[in-house]
Structure 1
Amino acid sequence: MTCEGKVKHLIRTIQEGNLSHLKEELGKDEGVLDAVLKGHFGRSGDTMLHYAARYGHLPILKYLVEELGANIELVNSDYKRALHEAASMGHRMCVSYLLAQGARIDCLKKADWTPLMMACTRKNLEVIKDLITSGASLALTNKDGWSSFHIACREGDPEIIQYFLEVSPNIWDVESKIQRTPLHTVAMHGHFEAAELLLERCAYKPDAKDSCGVTPFMDAVQNGHIEIAKLLLERHKADFLATDALGAQSLHRATVTAQDEAIRFLVTELGVNVNERATELKLTALHYAAKEGHTNTIETLLMLEIDIQARDVKGRSALHMACAGQHTNCIKKLIAAGLTDSTDDSGMLASQLLKKPEALKVLHNITDCK
């Protein structure tokens, strides 16, 4: 077996957690020992220590460190250490061992993620507790300005969020680099219990906007989390008519993401005007649906009696949007509903925006039959 083949074989042995076989193979050929201790393998540049920590094999981890003298601070191509690996996979015993061996608790991998941040991607409260009680910083943020609390809120485990608030009562008062709060995060990801907890324990301002002008209510609606939207209305007095940086309301944002149930909720239960326009370009929800190619959403809006002839600030109809996006089914739906191939303010026909011959043929055939 070549040296490279032996090393690959040893990696598989470590992944499988077979310590006795690892010792046996190293006893046969001490020539690969240097590779075991210092070598970097694969695209990620992992060391043997990374593999042992990632797969949670504590006996192998101990053998590499205590008997072979492996350096616990070795990094891979992403600057991840063994502690990052163990924390990210929720291997509590490996985390505890590495900390006891003096591993740097707030070491940073690529994009400035700490082991605590990595642990928060898993719903393993005990690992998170071990890191925090061992001195992991709660204040550090990654390159996007996300704290460990942000990440915990993204995963949405109420018990973990509650623990963070107990050890650091003001930890909720944080924003990412684009001004998104943890409340935005739980609303976006649909974590109802987490949202209840944040509204009960934290003093977030109603309708706090991120750098794009998006509120937690908008996040909930555009991702189809209607129960959270209702919770924000009841507990936080959210403004369902608030606009983002481009003047779009929750109605328009729900249309972009084809959240038909949310659209019906806004219009039929909250009384939002289905013909409401985004203030910047005067686009209606129908324009947005046609632009994105959401045929079912167009049908929903038509059932809600949206004005099919509405034009934006440039004189464009929803048909112009559908043609520009080459959305053949949307074109069919709009023309069948009575929208004609009219011009915008520049005199351009909607059909002139079509580039695909088959789509243009569809438009002409439907128009000829009317």
Structure 2
Amino acid sequence: MQDDTFCECLKRLFKAVELDDEQEFVKLYTKVSFDDRLFIWRGRKSRYCNKSDTLLHVAARLGRAWLLRLAVHDGAPLSLTSIHNKHPLHEAAQTGAVECLRILICAVNVPVDPLKRADWTPLMLACAASSPQPITGMNDTSHATSRFVECVRLLLQHGADPSFTNKDGWNCLHVAARAGCREIVSVLLQHSPELIHTKTSNGRTCLHCLTSCQMSATDPYESCKIAQNLLDRFPQLLFIPDACGTIPVFDALRRGNVILASGLLRIDPDKQLEHCDKLGLKAVHVVAESGELDSLKLIEKHLGSGTFESKVALDCVAGIGGVTPLHLACRSGQHNIVKHILDSFRNSSVCDRPLHPLICPLDIRGCSPMWYAAVGSAGLGGTSVTQRICCLKLLFDALLAIPHDPETCSFISDHVVSILSCVSNASIHQVLENFVVDLLHSN
């Protein structure tokens, strides 16, 4: 049946489906003999790939319910797989084609939980696609979201299992939380409340998934409502670390989602902010390196400016013992964080102590924030050079603004000279040399 006439007919049928031209499709289809119609339904969009889309995949994806009704009436095979092992049911669920989903799911011998590549079920795809983001060509995003909610309800009513996990250990609740769809999270919890206790393969809970999603930053108030729903059922979610030792508030702070982080910090803020991950980093260290100034100010509001002196434990297995937030901000070129911390040191009560130990604390290897700004991250010394130079200049301006005794001046200049031997970038090299000259002249 793979002759040129058949291929041309199939091509025209695909075109009719894509254009939503039911009349043209029926006209072409009725010209095909009954014996050959099965080949039509099994035909692939590409004649060179026997796993490309069938007519049913395209119809389900585009919401062509009329074609699916015809396919069911004619006894077409409804569970053929595409190149990604997707069934038509996957396509309908992923695009929120409610009527197509209903037709397929009510048909005989159509599995409700088929697995596509990476072990995703149709229910997972509906949850993932439900993120209430603006959709091209649609003005009513709430209507778009409601379509996916209806798809989820239909799948659950027909026996879909929300506890199935994909290759990364994510189930439907993790996926829905990451998508940020409050209605679907509620539907899943009402159907299977035990899901709230589950973790992904790397130990992340549904609250982790929520705080690390893009939706939590674009619509933080919606995320707060989802978080409250989760915490009302299982408050301990706040303190459960993932495989890296990260708790949910770290993710919210790292992404700059201050509204969501503030909501989470209503419960035992000190315990959350003083928590250490497996690298020994607290929230203030994480935020300093990510450069989220508003998050840093939120931490300062709860813990005071003294938290900027917080050092990673000396026995840290990652080799960053003694590192402060200032070290980490300098390493990644977060000059806005560096400026805020330096201003805090100058303006707070700590200024009754010598400032240079605060500006240039040494880690376990004897490296200062200046060293971190000059050298950068391991293997990444050539990146963020301009930003790291800004950090160096802020540190140097702060040091030049305070008087030093000869011993301290000598120590700082010797330290900077030692850094010079580690730096290959000419611009940074020049900044360091100029500082040594200015330091010696000022004292």
Q: Do they fold alike, i.e. is TM over 0.5? A: yes
What TM-score, normalized by structure 2, do the two folds share? 0.74
Over the aligned positions, Cα root-mean-square deviation in angstroms equals 2.9
Relative to structure 1, the CA distance from residue 235 to residue 264 in structure 2 (aligned partners, 3 Å threshold; closer, same or farther) is closer
**C-alpha distance in 2, partners of 1:95/1:316?**
61
1:118 corresponds to which residue?
125
Relative to structure 1, the CA distance from residue 205 to residue 268 in structure 2 (aligned partners, 3 Å threshold; closer, same or farther) is closer
1:50 corresponds to which residue?
57
1:264 corresponds to which residue?
297
In the TM superposition, residue 239 of structure 1 has moved relative to its aligned partner by 2.4
Q: How does 1:78-97 map to 2 (within 5 A)?
A: 78-97=84-103
Structure 2, unmatched stretches of 5+, are 131-144, 217-222, 347-357, 376-380, 400-411
Deviates more, 1:180-189 or 1:43-52: 43-52
**C-alpha distance in 2, partners of 1:312/1:350?**
14
Contact 1:332 1:366 in 2 (8 A): no
Relative to structure 1, the CA distance from residue 342 to residue 84 in structure 2 (aligned partners, 3 Å threshold; closer, same or farther) is farther
Matched letter for residue 293 of structure 1 = G
In the TM superposition, residue 58 of structure 1 has moved relative to its aligned partner by 0.6
Deviates more, 1:118-127 or 1:322-331: 322-331
1:18 corresponds to which residue?
21
2:388 corresponds to which residue?
330
What TM-score, normalized by structure 1, do the two folds share? 0.87
1:320 corresponds to which residue?
371
Q: Secondary structure at the match of 2:168?
A: coil
Relative to structure 1, the CA distance from residue 318 to residue 28 in structure 2 (aligned partners, 3 Å threshold; closer, same or farther) is farther
Q: Deviations over 1:143-201 (max 9, x none)?
A: 11111111111122322222222222222111111111112222333311001111112
Relative to structure 1, the CA distance from residue 139 to residue 365 in structure 2 (aligned partners, 3 Å threshold; closer, same or farther) is same
1:278 corresponds to which residue?
312
Contact 1:251 1:285 in 2 (8 A): yes
Relative to structure 1, the CA distance from residue 206 to residue 110 in structure 2 (aligned partners, 3 Å threshold; closer, same or farther) is same
Q: Secondary structure at the match of 2:118?
A: helix
Contact 1:152 1:160 in 2 (8 A): yes
Matched letter for residue 153 of structure 2 = K
Contact 2:56 2:78 in 1 (8 A): yes
Q: Secondary structure at the match of 2:273?
A: coil
Relative to structure 1, the CA distance from residue 208 to residue 336 in structure 2 (aligned partners, 3 Å threshold; closer, same or farther) is closer
Contact 1:322 1:328 in 2 (8 A): no
Structure 1, unmatched stretches of 5+, are none
In the TM superposition, residue 254 of structure 1 has moved relative to its aligned partner by 1.1
Q: How many residues align?
A: 365
Deviates more, 1:5-14 or 1:81-90: 5-14
**C-alpha distance in 1, partners of 2:424/2:39?**
61
Q: Quick one: percent identity of the two aligned structures?
A: 28
Q: Deviations over 1:80-139 (max 9, x none)?
A: 111011001111111110011132101001111111111112142211111001000122
Q: How does 1:1-16 map to 2 (within 5 A)?
A: 10-16=13-19
**C-alpha distance in 2, partners of 1:33/1:155?**
39
Q: For the pair shown, which has the larger CA radius of gyration, 1 or 2?
A: 2
Matched letter for residue 330 of structure 1 = R
1:242 corresponds to which residue?
275
In the TM superposition, residue 35 of structure 1 has moved relative to its aligned partner by 6.2
